[in-house]
Amino acid sequence: MNYRHAFHAGNFADLVKHAALLRLLAELTRPGPPLTVIDTHAGRGLYDLAGPEARKSGEAEAGILQLMRTKGAPAEFQSLIRTVAALNEGGEVTRYPGSPWLIAQALRATDKYVACELRPDEHDALRVVLRGRQNVRTLCADGYAAAVAECPPKGRVLVLIDPPFEKPDDYTRIVDTLAALRRRNRDAQALVWLPIKDLETLDACLRDLEDSVGAPMTAVETRIRPLTDPMKMNGCALVLIGCPDLDAGLGVISSWVAQSLGVGGVARVYPLSPQ
Ligand SMILES: C[S@@+](CC[C@H](N)C(=O)[O-])C[C@H]1O[C@@H](n2cnc3c(N)ncnc32)[C@H](O)[C@@H]1O
């Protein structure tokens, strides 16, 4: 396992994922029954943008730092902008929140959060970041297996699946995990992040989801450049499973990233058709 999210924290793909996650959590934490959130690939929770990894990649500079400098960014980014500004006490932006930080902050006292991270060093850092939070547990464990084991058979649950795609079986494990989650809890909701390198790989994954996961699904494609080089991450996709209709807001998030952070970018929001 060589992947370190510190190289990529705050890049264009994090902005799409984290703005969409905050939008979804705002919807799911309106007054109502408790919610359990399971984060299968949590990472370390908080990232140092002044550290060697972020400075070497330059990805945060082309992502969150550009968003923070933008006057009049769309309302759909304001929650993320406010969180990043507060984390940096209104000063220079050197710290960026990972999904654990965003989720833990958004949840109510009645909700629960389970954060899974397989790398022991990343998990140690995550435990420190989440220390003292009520109703939060971290597991140094395989997130796919843990998500199914930890999913309550009844009640409201949101599963975030955000793998590093270092291994070829991440695509099949995502599909199998979602099918197992929906068998365990027919109301389970999920947000999945996928890279876009070439369209064949993305399409194959979306077709497998349509064949295996019997739930309404929406795909959000954000391409930051034409797909001419399949060795590059040319964009990212989100798939929302069984979630409320947030298409308009997700379209704004995706379009802003494709147009403002990309060159020749494309944004699309469309429904998938379960078989
Ligand atoms: C893309 S990063 C997660 C970023 C995080 N979700 C966020 O938005 O801030 C993926 C993480 O998954 C971890 N990981 C890799 N395989 C895993 C597995 N099978 N189960 C749990 N974590 C895993 C990696 O060590 C890495 O920290």
Dihedral in degrees, nearest 10, Cα atoms 9, 13, 16, 18: -30
- CA 8 to centroid of ligand 1, rounded, Å: 12
Mutational pocket test of ligand 1: of 118, 129, 233, 238, the residue with most ligand atoms within 8 Å of the beta carbon: 118
- CA 11 to centroid of ligand 1, rounded, Å: 16
- CA 43 to centroid of ligand 1, rounded, Å: 5
Look at residue 192 in the predicted model and tell me its pLDDT.
98
> Distance between CA atoms of 118 and 164, rounded to whole angstroms?
11
Look at residue 274 in the predicted model and tell me its pLDDT.
81
- CA 141 to centroid of ligand 1, rounded, Å: 10
Specify the ligand 1 atom closest to the Cα of 8: 1
Token readout for 96 is 């960026």
Give, as one character, the DSSP assignment of residue 77: G
- CA 143 to centroid of ligand 1, rounded, Å: 8
CB 43: neighbour CB atoms within 10 A? 27
pLDDT digits (tens, 9 = 90+) for 258-270: 999 999 999 999 9
pLDDT digits (tens, 9 = 90+) for 15-53: 999 999 999 999 999 999 999 999 999 999 999 999 999
Specify the ligand 1 atom closest to the Cα of 44: 27
Q: Whose CA is nearest to atom 1 of ligand 1?
A: 164
The angle that helices 12-28 and 99-106 make with each other, rounded to 10 degrees, is 20
Task: Please name each of the domains of the chain with its CATH number.
Answer: 16-45+99-272 (3.40.50.150)
Specify the ligand 1 atom closest to the Cα of 97: 9
Q: Which amino acid is it at 51? A: G
Q: Which amino acid is it at 197? A: K
Q: Whose CA is nearest to atom 24 of ligand 1?
A: 43
- Average pLDDT over all residues of the chain: 97
Of the candidates 263, 274, 204, the one whose C-alpha atom is nearest the C-alpha of residue 12 is 263
> Distance between CA atoms of 269 and 272, rounded to whole angstroms?
10
Pocket of ligand 1 (CB under 6 A): 1, 3, 5, 17, 40-43, 98-99, 116-119, 122, 142-144, 162-164
Of the pLDDT bands very low, low, confident and very high (cuts 50, 70, 90), residue 206 is very high
Look at residue 1 in the predicted model and tell me its pLDDT.
80
> What is the pTM for the complete model shown?
0.98
- CA 72 to centroid of ligand 1, rounded, Å: 32
The DSSP-derived string for 129-188 is HHTT-TTEEEE-S-HHHHHHHHS-SSSEEEEEE-----STTHHHHHHHHHHHHHHH-TT-
pLDDT digits (tens, 9 = 90+) for 51-110: 999 999 999 999 999 999 999 999 999 999 999 999 999 999 999 999 999 999 999 999
> Distance between CA atoms of 25 and 144, rounded to whole angstroms?
21
Look at residue 275 in the predicted model and tell me its pLDDT.
82
Look at residue 189 in the predicted model and tell me its pLDDT.
98
